Amino acid sequence: MAKAKKSAFFCQNCGHEESKWLGQCPVCKEWNTFVEETVVPVKGGDTLTREAASPVDIHDIPTEGDERTRTNIAEMDRVLGGGLVAGSLILIGGDPGIGKSTLLLQVCQKLAAQGQQVLYISGEESLKQIKLRANRMGKFSGDLKLLSETNLDVIRSVLEKERPQVAVIDSIQTMYNEDIASAPGSVSQVRESTNVLLQLAKGLGITFFIVGHVTKEGAVAGPRVLEHMVDTVLYFEGDRHAAYRILRSAKNRFGSTNEIGVFEMQREGLVEVKNPSEYMLSGKPENASGSVVACAIEGTRPMLMEIQALVCKTSFTMPRRTAAGIDYNRVNLLMAVLEKRLGIPLSSYDAYVNIAGGIRVDEPAADLGIVMALVSSYRNKPLPEDMIAFGEVGLSGEVRAVTLPEQRVAEAKKLGFHTCVIPEVCKKSVGNVDGIKIIGVQNVNQAVDL
Ligand SMILES: Nc1ncnc2c1ncn2[C@@H]1O[C@H](COP(=O)(O)OP(=O)(O)OP(=O)(O)O)[C@@H](O)[C@H]1O
Ligand SMILES: [Mg+2]
């Protein structure tokens, strides 16, 4: 007798399931994203995952030998929280061509050189194409094997036979399971494939790096459950026109999520950027109005960046405002503060604010820098070259405290700055720093009077 097949409709954007077709997804509000997919009955639990069928005393669980494996790419280790945890699933998302395959092949290169057994499985490129990329990266040593395959059953048996310590799946959207009728990359395929990898990871102790494509909004494509199933979600991002790339963690079961890793794309592959501040400030114009150096904290690292503003008389009834690398609404808010508290008639001026280098800051500590850049451009007066500014600006124009002011000042000192404009309340905790003039400000009036 034919088995009754159950099917459901899945939103291809967010993975939401409905029993009937809908024009618009009620969850992510995208139109025309529902596709009918057959739902496979859940198979009985895999034998590999059955080991803990009875509860185990917490003291009896062995942990020795489970310490982290360093990839020896310092920026990668930092983002992972100190290295790889055996048996974990790490999802890497990023725009097309940003360098995901390059990064992972380099990780494989380093791991294999340390004596780890590594298997790189690509569903997107042929072995020859991977080899071509490898040729650019220099010497490979140790046990690194490549496989070009998309059928998960084959991959599963290869993994069970080879038992590598680390495996790369490039990418999850190309993998397919024969039991599922829908096309590779669809919600049920991606979910089922990840499930298989999850069982292999926990059962055989293989660490998986999984490459995931991103949607046009920048989230990993396929079901949201994908992010729940894996241990770590990393995003590899960057401006396509700039050479540097940032690795950011969005979820990490074994480490902090506010660390970033900075890389630069070169012919030989990705090179770590040891001192991002220096990198961000390279090319800063001299004696130009509207340019201020600010300091944001990324994870535990202070990072200097240049904020640029251009304010000019508008020829429109609605002045134009653009913000690149910073929240648009935040810039509008700060301009309203300037208008109200300092009486600068910004409503008849166009304003463009940009963080040089294509980086994004979400920290309010950049507020003071933005305000000073705007005023400097409005008055067409350049600010001193050796000055940095940081502080949060409130609605009544007050300059509020920020976290870790000492570290920010230390970073400025390291890069040869001599003046720091900081919130008055932070002055005490910073104290006296050799060779640095610290100016505390209480409100934006004092800051722009400088
Ligand atoms: N010879 C080269 N010199 C410098 N950079 C190169 C060279 N070859 C490739 N690249 C860089 O590598 C990038 C492609 O890297 P990679 O294939 O790892 O990206 P990806 O994220 O895996 O892309 P996809 O999503 O298509 O799989 C290119 O965008 C380019 O910047
Ligand atoms: Mg790739």
To the question of domain 279-449 being in CATH 3.30.70.920, the answer is no
Cβ distance 142 to 164 under 8 Å?
Answer: no
- 306-to-149, 164, 360, 364, 427 alpha-carbon distances in Å: 45, 45, 11, 15, 23
Q: Does 264 sit in the ligand 1 pocket, CB within 6 Å?
A: no
Q: Which of 13-22, 40-49, 71-80 has the lowest mean pLDDT?
A: 40-49
Beta carbons of 233 and 251 less than 8 angstroms apart: yes
What residue has token string 């396929």?
Answer: 222
Distance 14 CA to ligand 2 centre (A): 22
CA end-to-end span of the chain, whole Å? Answer: 85
CB 189 within 8 A of CB 151: no
- pLDDT of 261 reads 87
The atom number, within ligand 1, closest to the CA of 102 reads 18
Give the tokens for residue 122. Answer: 């690509």
Q: Looking at ligand 1, which atom is closest to the CA of residue 213?
A: 25
- Cis link prior to 396 (omega < 30° from 0)? no
122 lines ligand 1 (CB under 6 A): no
Range name among 136-145, 232-241, 390-399 with the lowest pLDDT average: 232-241
Please tell me the predicted confidence (pLDDT) of residue 109: 94
Q: From atom 7 of ligand 1, which residue's Cα is the shortest distance away? A: 267
> Residue 355 and residue 370: Cα distance in Å, rounded?
9
Provide the CATH number for the domain formed by 73-274 in this structure.
3.40.50.300
| Nearest residue by C-alpha to atom 15 in ligand 1 | 99
- Among the bound ligands, name the one nearest to the CA of residue 103: 1
* CB 123 near ligand 1, within 6 Å: no
For ligand 1, whether the C-beta of 104 sits within 6 Å is no
Query: If pLDDT is split at 50, 70 and 90, which confidence band does 329 have?
Result: very high
Going by alpha carbons, the residue nearest to atom 10 of ligand 1 is 267
Where do the domains of the chain lie? Answer: 7-39, 73-274, 279-449
Atom 28 of ligand 1, nearest CA residue:
97
Least confident of 94-98, 150-154, 160-164, 205-209: 94-98
pLDDT value, residue 183: 83
- Is 268 within 8 Å of 261 (Cβ atoms)? no
Q: Is 265 in the pocket of ligand 1 (CB under 6 A)?
A: yes
Q: Is residue 322 helix, strand or coil? A: strand
Output the average pLDDT for the chain. 86
User: Greatest CA separation found in the chain?
Assistant: 85
Pairing state of beta strands 118-122 and 166-170? parallel
Mean of the pLDDT values across residues 112-120? 93
**Chain-centroid distance, C-alpha 422:** 28
133 CA from centroid of ligand 1 (Å): 9
12 Cβ closer than 6 Å to some ligand 1 atom: no
Residues 6+ apart with CB under 8 A from 8: 17, 18, 19, 36, 37, 39
Of the listed ranges 48-52, 120-124, 325-329, the least confidently predicted one is 48-52
* Comparison of pLDDT for 449 and 25, the residue scoring more: 25
267 lines ligand 1 (CB under 6 A): yes
At which residue do the structure tokens 């114009």 appear?
285
Distance 129 CA to ligand 1 centre (A): 12
Question: Which of 47-61, 256-270, 426-440 bottoms out in mean pLDDT, i.e. has the lowest?
Answer: 47-61
Rounded average pLDDT over 337-357: 90
Rounded distance between C-alpha atoms, residue 35 and residue 224, angstroms? 16
pLDDT of residue 66: 61
**C-alpha 151 chain-centroid distance:** 29
Measured in Å, residue 170 CA sits from the centre of ligand 2 at: 7
Q: Is 99 in the pocket of ligand 1 (CB under 6 A)?
A: yes
134 Cα distance to chain centroid: 25
Per-residue pLDDT at 121? 95
Spatial strand order in the sheet of 321-324 = 321-324, 349-355, 301-313, 291-298, 387-389, 419-423, 437-441
Which residue, 36, 388, 14, is CA-closest to 182? 36
Instruction: Give residue 101 CA to ligand 2 midpoint distance, Å.
Output: 4
* Ligand positioned closest to the Cα atom of 94: 1
Sort 417 into a burial class: Cβ within 10 Å, 0-12 / 13-18 / 19+.
buried
Ligand 1 pocket: which of 98, 131, 137 to mutate (most atoms within 8 A of CB): 98
pLDDT at 42: 57
Q: What pLDDT, on the 0 to 100 scale, is given for residue 174?
A: 92
State yes or no: pLDDT of 54 exceeds 60: yes
Where residue 11 falls among pLDDT bands split at 50, 70, 90? Answer: confident
pLDDT band per the 50, 70, 90 thresholds, residue 104: very high
Q: How far is the CA of 86 from the centre of ligand 2 (A)?
A: 24
Give the number of the ligand closest to the Cα of residue 104. Answer: 1
For residues 151-178, one letter each, b for 16 or more C-beta atoms within 10 angstroms of the residue's C-beta and e for the rest, the string is: ebeebeebbeeeebbbbbbbbbbbbbbe
Provide the 3-class DSSP secondary structure of residue 31.
strand
Closest C-alpha residue for ligand 1 atom 8? 267
Residue 289 DSSP SS3? strand
Non-local (6+) Cβ contacts of 260 within 8 A are 79, 246, 247, 248, 249, 298, 299, 301
pLDDT tens for 271-327 read 988 887 887 787 778 888 999 999 988 777 788 889 999 999 988 888 899 999 899
The pair of three-digit structure tokens given for residue 439, joined into one six-digit string: 């100016």
Query: Which DSSP category does 48 fall into?
Result: G
